[in-house]
Structure 1
Amino acid sequence: MTRRILSAALVAALGICATGAAHADQMAMTSTATVKNDLKYLMYTPNGYETSNDSYPLVVWLHGGDQGGGDIEKVKSSGMPKLIQDGKQFPFLVFSPQNPSAELLYPIEKVEAALEEVISKYRVDRSRIYVVGYSRGGFGAWAMAEQFPHKFAAVVPIAGGGNRHYLSRTNEKAAFWVFHGTDDDVILLSDSVIMYERLKALKRDARLSVLEGVDHSNIERAALSDPELWDWLLKQRLDAAPK
């Protein structure tokens, strides 16, 4: 008797769902919400820029996780901004956006929008735009290469990881140089190795530098101290500059 009651209830319920489904509808809508892009950033121009009419290469620098938030001065504490602060001169523009979150990954759509704004204001050689990122910024560098493949001539992730399944979307003409330390216990070396091996399987121009005995806190400086990196970077160029 109980089984019959339950069966009858189930049939009735399914009937109600079926009847409701017949009259249900979904409307196609378009959001009109606007997202404010309030990214803060540092901008470096090389010596001679103001008196020149030339276009310059540009490096997008994405910092690590401990520099996010609203205090832009924190971005100067390490990485490329720290090198510049200490007097190092680069022959290219450096755009260093600050991750507005101290906990989340970079909002790369906002970074790309801010980059386009920078390109409109400065004389940027669009065929020579590069992205370099460390730790959380390394994740951002991988994501930028996958999400905006025709923008970057070279990508340098330092101690970062990413989604290898989307590497097929990267630009076949872009070059990659991946850095990681063997003693990194924050972002495991295998995260970079997996990405590198996938790039090689896709026949991308990729190289991997594994630094023996280097941990997470020291890989950033070790990678940026390699003079070959900057010479290599400036040689990378997209055949056709993206419009």
Structure 2
Amino acid sequence: MTNKIRLLFLTLTCTTTMFAQLSSHKKEAVNRVEMQYLLYTPSQNNEQSPLVIFLHGGAESDTDLNVAKAHGIPKRIAEGKDFPFYVFAPLNPNKKGLWDDRTIHKMAMSLADSLPIDKKRIYLAGLSRGGDGIWRMAVNNPKTYAAMISVCAADIPMIYLKWAKNLPVWFFHGEKDTVVPVEQTKEAYNTLKKLNQNTKLTLYPNATHDSWTETYNNEAVYSWLLKQHL
């Protein structure tokens, strides 16, 4: 664990003064399920910085917050990477359950109110089961998020894509994925591209389910993301 991430515990009754920089947190959700999360604060903190909400895959669903750093943006941070944005990376405590996207959205909006975050630059990023979670957040909260990184999303709500027609999305998927078929991502891309030209698709010809390592190691992904705003 780097000095960018340290332990701090929060409850629903906490005040905004308890949100500490470079910390990890625990919060009791409305359904009485305890939600733990990592919060990364950029070292060069401007007056207002973007926020990236990162949802991990199903294999990392656990009660040990450390597993939230297994892949993607939290892994890059744990390895010493500095990002010019806040990162909110919650942990799904239900090993076999889907993300509680409504609770995650509320927690993210609470952070946006409590920290110097640019509300026109709040982004969604997720992989596999986390991809399912960020898609539900997007369609349920239009005009809230500025862009999305959708990596081998486990489920994409095709009939509700029109609700996210103004959302720039960059899709990623491995063409040899046997866990989540790539056809779903291709279909979603083709549908959304007709509604929003700011839609991108990257396919990895030789990748299986792990299409996230190459994606989140690609600096061009973050450059594109940070150019998007409401």
Q: Which residue of 1 aligns with 2:177?
A: 184
The structure in which a higher percent of residues are helix is 1
1:136-189: per-residue Cα shift (whole Å, max 9, x none)?
A: 0111121111111111100111001311100111152x2110000111110011
Structure 2: where are the runs of 5+ without partners?
1-29
| Alpha-carbon distance in 2 for matches of 1:100, 1:191 | 26
RMSD: 1.4
Q: Please give the alpha-carbon distance, in whole angstroms, between the structure 2 residues aligned to 1:221 and 1:83.
A: 10
Which protein shows a greater Rg?
Answer: 1
Selected match of 1:220 from 202, 212, 217: 212
Query: 2:226 matched to 1:234?
Result: yes
Provide the C-alpha distance between the structure 1 equivalents of 2:223 and 2:119, rounded to a whole number of angstroms.
Answer: 18
Q: Which residue does the alignment assign to 1:122?
A: 115
Q: Which residue of 2 aligns with 1:169?
A: 163
Deviation readout 1:187-231 (Å, 9 max, x if unpaired)? 0110111111110232352111011101113x1111112221111
Structure 1 spans left out of the alignment, 5+ residues: 1-33, 239-243
Aligned to 1:108: 101
**Could you tell me whether the CA contact under 8 Å between 1:145 and 1:171 is conserved in 2?**
no
Shift of 1:37: 6.0
Mapped to 2, the partners of 1:41 and 1:215 lie a distance apart of: 28
Deviation at 1:121?
2.0
Q: How does 1:21-170 map to 2 (within 5 A)?
A: 35-36=31-32, 38-49=34-45, 52=46, 54-160=47-153, 161-170=155-164
Whole-angstrom distance in 1 between the partners of 2:32 and 2:112: 19
Query: How far 1:120 sits from its partner (Å)?
Result: 2.2
Alpha-carbon displacement from aligned partner over 1:55-95 (angstroms, at most 9, x marks no partner): 10000001011111221111012211111000011010000
TM-score normalised per structure 2: 0.83
On the 8 A contact 2:165/2:196 being kept in 1, the answer is no
Normalization by structure 1: what TM-score? 0.79
The structure in which a higher percent of residues are strand is 2
Q: Is the 8 A contact 2:174 2:209 kept in 1?
A: yes
